[in-house]
Amino acid sequence: MDLDFMASTMLTLVAALPMTLALFSLSVIFGGLLALLVVWMRVGGNPVARGFAKGYIFVFRGSPLLIQMFLVFYGLGQFGFIRYSFLWPALREPFVCAVLSLSLCTAGYTAEIFRFGLRSIPAREIEAARAVGMSGFLLTRRILAPIAFRNALPAYSTEVMMMVKSTALASLVTVWEVTGVAQRLIAQTYRTMEVFLCAAAIYLILNFLILQLLALLEYRLSPHRRTAPLFPAAQQ
Residues that bind other proteins (CB under 8 A): 122, 124-125, 127-136, 138, 142-143, 146-147, 150, 221-225, 227-228, 230-231, 233-236
CB 114 within 8 A of CB 145: no
Q: How far is the CB of 118 from other proteins (least distance, A)?
A: 14
Which is nearer to other proteins, 7 or 128 (by Cβ)? Answer: 128
Which is nearer to other proteins, 120 or 158 (by Cβ)? Answer: 120
CB 173 within 8 A of CB 94: yes
Q: How far is the CB of 224 from other proteins (least distance, A)?
A: 4
- In terms of phi and psi (left: phi > 0; alpha: psi -120 to 50; beta: otherwise), the region of 136 is left
Which is nearer to other proteins, 3 or 230 (by Cβ)? Answer: 230
Q: How far are the Cα atoms of 30, 51, 59, 68, 164 from residue 172, in angstroms, in the given order?
A: 21, 33, 21, 12, 15
Q: How far is the CB of 47 from other proteins (least distance, A)?
A: 14
CB 32 within 8 A of CB 110: yes
Q: How far is the CB of 229 from other proteins (least distance, A)?
A: 10
Which is nearer to other proteins, 138 or 205 (by Cβ)? Answer: 138
CB 85 within 8 A of CB 137: no
